[in-house]
């Protein structure tokens, strides 16, 4: 069975090949922005569906109640 032998590249060609390979790994800024916007929109839609169909607790109200409980424990009783 014959094996395919690839001749080594000249030193200048190696740098060009590495630079081209590195450029293909980087994403275009428009691709990153599109990916972010699609993910953001999809996340919002999933959140809206969950909020409409399930009883999701109101985190702002829970945090406010938690802060009130902490403040009540910190204050000494008035006599």
pLDDT for residue 63 is more than 80: yes
Q: What is the mean pLDDT of the chain?
A: 80
**pLDDT of the residue at 55:** 86
Average pLDDT over residues 50-55: 89
Check: CB of residue 21 under 8 Å from CB of residue 13.
no
Asked if residue 47 is part of any domain, the answer here is yes
Domain that holds residue 75: 28-79
Asked if residue 35 is part of any domain, the answer here is yes
Domain count, the chain: 1
Torsion-angle region of 58 (φ positive above 0: left; ψ -120 to 50: alpha; else: beta): beta
Report how far residue 45's alpha carbon sits from residue 65's, in angstroms, rounded to the nearest whole number: 29
| Residue 4: band (very low, low, confident or very high) from pLDDT cuts 50, 70, 90 | low
**pLDDT of the residue at 23:** 61
Q: How far is CA 11 from CA 15, 16, 17, in A?
A: 7, 9, 10
Check: CB of residue 56 under 8 Å from CB of residue 50.
yes
Average pLDDT over residues 67-76: 85
């Amino acid at each position: 069975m014959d094996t395919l032998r690839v001749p080594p590249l000249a030193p200048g060609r190696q740098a060009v090949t590495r630079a081209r390979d590195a450029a293909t790994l980087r994403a275009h800024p428009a691709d990153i922005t599109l990916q972010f916007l699609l993910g953001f929109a999809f996340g919002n839609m999933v959140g809206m569906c969950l909020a409409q169909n399930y009883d999701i607790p109101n985190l702002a109200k829970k945090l406010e109640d938690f802060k009130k409980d902490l403040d009540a424990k910190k204050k000494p009783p008035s006599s």
